[in-house]
Amino acid sequence: MDNPNLEDLLIACRQGSDDAFRKLFEQYHMRVMSTAYRMCGNIQEAEDVTQDVFLKAFKEIKKFREAASLFTWLYRITINLCIDKERKRQRRQKYHENVDVDSERITIEEANSNENTRTLDQQMWQDEIQSILQKALSRIKPKFRTVLVLKDIEGLSYEEAAQAVGCSQGTISSRLNRGRKELKTLLVKMGMGEEYFQER
């Protein structure tokens, strides 16, 4: 349980307390937003999903009973809404599998060529890495992207991720291994060399 007062907060939410639900929103909205962004790859869509998550939670919170698994319940709602949004988007336009990554290729040699400016450029470099990571994530199938986001980015345990996705821990492990391989392949294609992974 994230908070010793979470059970009381949940009880108040089920009783219809707007103030209690506001506190619940304040406690979890950044985690939901982070997950939605990693799944959608777009801030505006992540904001829309986050709003929908808490609207849905507000309507269904009276049915929810176990405070200890509240955040996995919210993650599950988030994942499902993100996948629904992606399916709708794919219906509206043809999904292009072959993406030209040359325009996104980062040249590590250029980024590190001037040691004197490396410290000054460090934040920009980290931002670029995050941008490349997000683009790579967006190209992985949702079922693999989901476990990567929950396990490797949000830091959930196998048990928590399994609860959030609604499958076995073995399935989470299998999808995680597949997702990591696909992510690494994409990142290498986009210019992130093997040494990056060896250091981590």
Full pLDDT tens readout for the chain, 200 residues: 345 478 888 889 988 899 999 999 999 999 999 999 999 888 899 999 999 999 999 999 988 877 668 888 999 999 999 998 888 877 765 544 444 444 444 444 444 454 444 454 555 556 667 778 888 888 999 999 999 999 998 899 999 999 999 899 999 999 999 999 999 898 888 876 554 444 44
pLDDT of residue 175: 95
Enter the pTM of the model.
Answer: 0.69
How many angstroms separate the CA atoms of 77 and 124, rounded?
33
How many angstroms separate the CA atoms of 141 and 145, rounded?
6
CATH of domain 1-93: 1.10.1740.10
Domain residue spans in the chain? 1-93, 108-200
Rg (CA), the chain: 19
Contact 9, 24 (CB under 8 A): yes
CATH C-level class of 108-200: mainly alpha
Contact 40, 46 (CB under 8 A): yes
Other C-beta atoms closer than 10 Å to the C-beta of 147 total 28
Buried b (16+ CB within 10 A) or exposed e, 51-66: ebbbeebeeebeeeee
Find, among 149, 136, 147, 145, the residue nearest to 184 by Cα.
Answer: 136
Q: One fold for both 1-93 and 108-200?
A: no
